[in-house]
Amino acid sequence: MPAHMPHGDELHGEFKVPGGKLVVVDLEVTDGRISAFRLAGDFFVEPDETIPAIEAAVLGLAADTDAAALTIAVRDALPPGAVLLGFSPEAVATTVRRALSSATTFADYEWQVLRGPALAPLQQMALDQVLAEEVGDGRRGPTLRIWEWSSPAVVIGSFQSVRNEVDRENAQKYGFEVVRRISGGGAMFIEPASAITYSLYAPSALVQGMSFADSYAFLDEWVIVALRGLGIEASYQPLNDITSPSGKIGGAAQKRLGSGAVLHHVTMAYDMDGDRMVEVLRIGREKLSDKGIASANKRVDPLKSQTGLAREEIIDRLVATFRAQNGLTESAITEAELERANRLVAEKFSTHEWLYRVP
């Protein structure tokens, strides 16, 4: 039988397993230990006694038990031959940690959407930081931003080497500005009409209790749903790729800010000049050899070729999916936000010290 839930304040946690089912836990903590625990969800499990066995294993554990130890406790409690469909011991552990850390869900917020205007690459870098900090400080609600680019760019990750990633001579020759963002990850090759880029700015409570790997897939689950609605067999490939059987569609990057915000952004290829990309980016042999492919421009399969739809129509469908799942109200970049972004361009993002922090 499920553990009895005594009267009083309960802690509640939810975790939608990427590509799987919803896991829900309710628990109480007394004297630093889990004193009541109930597991539920729309998953499938056999045999029926598996759920009581998991509940019994979690009951009595210290409230500061980490996700790894919780996973082991749940796995060790499974009856012989137990089958879990749509979730896993890791998912139960993540949900427990989210309950204990008072994590939130998408539905807990009133989301806003920003579309455009077209901005220069350096402004984009600065605005990403500004909007994330605004959300973290409570001056702006959680926001989905659809980027529009005013000019071509190569955007390198926070920890990448300019020399290793970019052929500066070809970048200059073809008019690609090289900029550095605040998040990690790999280089983004941006042609304004050929890229679809979006950012999510949210309180860090939304990903509380999740590993970085879990949070990447969790924050992009909605776009996987949207792409599948366009007829693409999209899936998430850890750590940070959105892919399909035809090839990679895009990549994600993320930054947790001290202000209490998470910044998560994705660039997907709508269309692309693969030959130009390999002239501008120094994609090394090692990176290609572990993919089992002969050339870099075969790694990415753009959305245009997979859907036949116009870029704007795909963006409309993405936004409509997010709105249907979470609600959205229209918003705009404020004068104060843009002014602060422009100051950051001058003070940080345009400086030699920032761009060449890793030469």
pLDDT tens digit sequence for 278-317: 999 997 534 444 443 344 445 677 999 999 999 999 999 9
Q: Which regions of the chain does DSSP assign to beta strands (E)?
A: 11-16, 22-30, 33-41, 44-46, 83-85, 112-119, 143-149, 153-156, 177-180, 188-190, 195-203, 235-237, 241-244, 247-257, 261-269, 329-330
Return the percentage of the chain with pLDDT > 90, whole number.
87
User: Based on the domain organization, do 231 and 120 belong to the same domain?
Assistant: yes
Q: Are residues 73 and 118 in the same domain?
A: no
Residue 280 included in any domain: yes
The per-residue pLDDT for 288 is: 44
Q: For residue 340, what pLDDT is reported?
A: 98
**CB-based burial label for 288 (10 Å; 0-12, 13-18, 19+):** middle
Determine, yes or no, domain membership for 261: yes
Nearest to 105 by CA among 3, 23, 34, 193: 23
Whole-structure pTM value: 0.90
- Please state, as a whole number, how many other Cβ atoms lie within 10 Å of the Cβ of residue 9: 7
The token duo for 214 is: 């879990």
| Domain stop point among 83, 100, 117 | 100
Asked, for residue 239, whether it belongs to a domain, the answer is yes
> Total domain count for the chain?
2
Say which residue the tokens 């850890």 belong to: 238
Residue 1 counted as domain residue: no
pLDDT, residue 293, reads: 37
Residue range 15-31: average pLDDT?
Answer: 94
**What's the CA gap between 148 and 135, in Å, rounded?**
21
d(CA 355, CA 160): 10
Can you list the pairs that 353-359 forms with residues at least 24 positions away whose Cβ atoms lie under 8 Å? 354/180, 355/162, 355/178, 355/179, 355/180, 356/162, 357/180, 358/159, 358/160, 358/161, 358/162, 359/161, 359/162, 359/163
Look at residue 91 in the predicted model and tell me its pLDDT.
97
Instruction: Assess whether 112 and 95 both reside in one domain.
Output: no
pLDDT at 3 over 90: no
Supply the CATH number for residue 258's domain: 3.30.930.10
In a domain, 334, yes or no: yes
Average pLDDT over residues 25-34: 96
Please give the average per-residue pLDDT across 108-124, as a whole number: 97
- Predicted confidence at residue 47, as pLDDT, reads 97
Question: Is residue 166 located within the same domain as residue 194?
Answer: yes
pLDDT of 147 > 60? The answer is: yes
pLDDT average, residue stretch 175-197: 97
Are 153 and 177 a contacting pair, CB within 8 Å?
yes
Interstrand relation of 143-149 and 112-119 (parallel, antiparallel or unpaired)? parallel
Judgement on whether residues 15 and 134 belong to the same structural domain of the protein = no
% of residues, the chain, pLDDT over 70:
93
- Per-residue pLDDT of 238-252, as tens digits, reads 989 999 998 899 999
Domain end residue (candidates: 44, 69, 100): 100
Residue 79, domain extent: 11-100
DSSP 12-61: EEEEE-TTS-EEEEEEEEETTEEEEEEEEES-EEESTTHHHHHHHHHTT-
Q: Can you give the length of the chain in residues?
A: 359
CATH of the domain at 15: 3.30.390.50
Beta-carbon contacts of 101 under 8 Å, excluding residues fewer than 6 positions away, are 205, 208, 209
In this prediction, residues 160-173 reach a mean pLDDT of 96
Q: Decide if 6 is inside a domain.
A: no
Regarding whether 272 and 207 lie in a shared domain, the answer is yes
**Mean pLDDT computed over 225-237:** 95
pLDDT at residue 129 tops 50:
yes
52 and 130 fall within a common domain? no
**345 pLDDT above the threshold of 80:** yes
Paired strand residues for 264: 200, 254
DSSP class of residue 140 equals S
Backbone phi, psi, residue 114, to 5°: -115, 130
CA distances to 28, 74, 202, 314 from 32, rounded to whole Å, are 10, 19, 30, 49
Alpha-carbon torsion angle 191, 282, 300, 243, nearest 10: -110
- Is the pLDDT at 43 greater than 50? The verdict is yes
